[in-house]
Chains A and B, each alone.
Chain A
Amino acid sequence: MQPDPIQGNTEATLSVRGLKKVYQTDGGDVEAVRNLTFDLRSGELACLVGPSGSGKTTLLKCISGLMAPTEGEVLLDGKPVTGPPKKMAVVFQEYGRSLFPWMRVRDNVELPLKNQGVPKAERDRLVDGALEAVGLSNVPRSYPWQLSGGMQQRVAIARAIAYQPEVLLMDEPFAAVDAQTRADLEDLIRVVWKKLGVTILFVTHDIDESVYLGERVIILSSSPTVIQEDIRIDLPEDRDQLNTRSLPRFTELRHHVYEQIQLAKKGHRPAAASSGEETQLKGQHAG
């Protein structure tokens, strides 16, 4: 039996502590995320999966420092995140809207480094390496919109890699590409992760994808969001689309995650969170 991933937080790179996010709207407050706590160890590849509307994007925005949480905090290497940290890169779902259409592929990848004042020679090395790693060495002079969706997302991934982040956040990055491209990109992420040893938090709504990619899958409940379950994926290190997906263990894990998501959709909440809710309710009455 492997140690519980939640316990193994001796060297947490990324810590999410009691995160809560309430949106204030004209129609009243909307609680998107209720109470989330988890750690990512250095070099971990974790998938965050949850039913649609479970606040995945909200959570990611809070982690990446784009949005301030209502309560709780996010720590990167022990330091609280108050704005987008330098050691973090984000890949968004909307590849068509996250690359600069007025810049060529190479300039897009280079821009964050240039902005940081990385010397030209070093920049060239990083950009070439990143483009090479995502298989795009042949198109540096193209504009992003001249490329297919899958290739555009590769550019976005190259830009993230070149930035040399400690933590790479990915917000449903392959939700808008076709199934075959998606399989290729999933394998690309595994390769990049192994090669660079970067910590990856991969948000998805695709159960198969989460099991195939992750070393660990964090299942979110429906909104207001808490953690439904946090499981370790004990599949072999080397994965490939055909063999891994036909392993009995893959089917078991997929089955389990699917079940949990279904429970989550029905409104089932883990015991710990329900009791937390009760105390909170009492607290509100008292107040």
Chain B
Amino acid sequence: MKHLRNAGYILGLPVLLVLVWWSSTLGAVNFFVPKPADLVETFGEVWFGDRFFSDVLPSLARLVVGVSVAILIGVVGGILIGSIRWLRALLEPTLEFFRAIPPPVLVPVLMLLMGITDSMKVMVIISGCVWPVLLNTIEGVRAVDPVLSDSAHTYGISGRARIRYLVLPSASPQIMAGVRQSLSLGLILMVISEMFASSSGLGFTIVQFQRSFAIPEMWSGIVVLGLLGVAMSFIFQWAERNILRWYHGQKEVENAA
């Protein structure tokens, strides 16, 4: 019964939307508006085949590599900048400047510097996704509870052990908030980097379809992006629930009191 209700909540709105869409496109429609049945048919034709390997997988690989490297740089850099006062004083104003630059404007520059390569696209994703993680990690590291820090200190927990047992877990709620922002940014930047110049990938394929007036195909590509976003969000939520179990539990106890 409970599962049924949950399923109802998850699928209710999508089913309703498709129904509205289906009923309003029963008659003759604008050439650019797709019909649900056509779209489903096209979707299968377009994406369950070679394209999956030639476009979806390369895009996914760039996204995964880009976001992972961005998270790694963000967390390591954030811990360093957050823990070392002079480094923070030195870097923070400059970081604000770089952070303010919208990453898409870097695409042509990076294209000239690095050529039209996979590393260029990964670079675009990193250059955008690193900021939310980096800045959130800095804040998280700075917000380590002073009493907890004293406790660790009196028990001789310092250096690498301090990072591992105190700083990293303590900053993890903020780090995860940064990661969440990075994931959605990453998807956007992946598409943008492939739209500018590419010979494969989701962004490239969707632009190709647009230019050749393959309208249902283009729509099916947009659906793929949407599904990708949903999948990423589910994976993130699952990971967050596991990593921050203690945090949510503690909050629940505090709110109940």
Chain A contacts to B: CB under 8 angstroms: 61, 64-66, 84, 86, 88-90, 92, 94, 97-103, 111-112, 115-116, 143, 145-146, 159, 163
Contacts and interface: CB of A to CB of B under 8 A. Distances in A.
B147 A111 contact: no
Interface stretch (B71-79, B128-136, B154-162): B154-162
Contact of B155 (A89, A94, A103): A89
B147 A98 contact: yes
B165 interface: yes
B100 interface: no
Contacts of B246: 101-102, 143, 145
A100 B147 contact: no
Given A64-B154, A146-B249, 15 more contacts: A66-B150, A89-B155, A90-B154, A97-B148, A100-B148, A100-B166, A102-B170, A111-B155, A111-B157, A112-B156, A112-B157, A143-B249, A143-B250, A145-B253, A146-B253
A66 B208 CA distance: 64
B117 interface: no
B54 interface: no
A115 B151 contact: no
A88 B169 CA distance: 25
Nearest to B151: A98
A66 B153 contact: yes
Contact of A100 (B156, B169, B172): B169
Contacts of B161: 115
B96 interface: no
A92 to B, nearest CB: 6
A257 to B, nearest CB: 28
Nearest to A116: B156
B155 A163 contact: yes
A145 B148 CA distance: 14
Contacts of B151: 90, 92, 98-99
A112 B154 CA distance: 9
B45 interface: no
A242 to B, nearest CB: 32
A66 B153 CA distance: 8
Interface in B215-255: 246-247, 249-250, 253-254
B145 interface: yes
Contacts of B247: 101-102
Interface in B155-211: 155-157, 161, 165-166, 169-170, 172
Q: How large is the interface on B (under 10, 10 to 19, 20 to 34, 35 or more residues)?
A: 20 to 34
11 contacts: A90-B151, A97-B147, A98-B150, A101-B250, A102-B170, A103-B165, A111-B155, A111-B157, A111-B165, A112-B156, A159-B155
Given A143-B249, A146-B249, A102 B156 contact: no
B15 to A, nearest CB: 40
A115 B150 contact: no
Nearest to A143: B246
A284 B154 CA distance: 36
B204 to A, nearest CB: 43
Nearest to A97: B147
Contacts of B153: 66, 84
A112 B153 CA distance: 10
B163 to A, nearest CB: 12
A102 B157 contact: no
Contacts of A61: 150
Contacts of A143: 246, 249-250
Nearest to A95: B147
B140 to A, nearest CB: 13
Given A97-B147, A101-B250, A115 B154 contact: no
A159 B254 CA distance: 24
Contacts of A89: 154-155
B152 to A, nearest CB: 8
Contacts of B148: 97-98, 100
The 9 closest A-B pairs by CB, nearest first: A112-B155, A97-B147, A102-B169, A102-B246, A98-B151, A145-B250, A90-B154, A84-B154, A94-B147
Which interface residue of A61, A98, A99, A146 has the most chain B CB atoms within 10 A?
A: A98
Nearest to A90: B154
Which interface residue of A98, A102, A111 has the most chain B CB atoms within 10 A?
A: A102
A287 B246 CA distance: 58
A89 B161 CA distance: 18
A92 B147 contact: yes
A92 B149 CA distance: 12
Nearest to A156: B151
A221 B155 CA distance: 30
Contacts of B170: 102
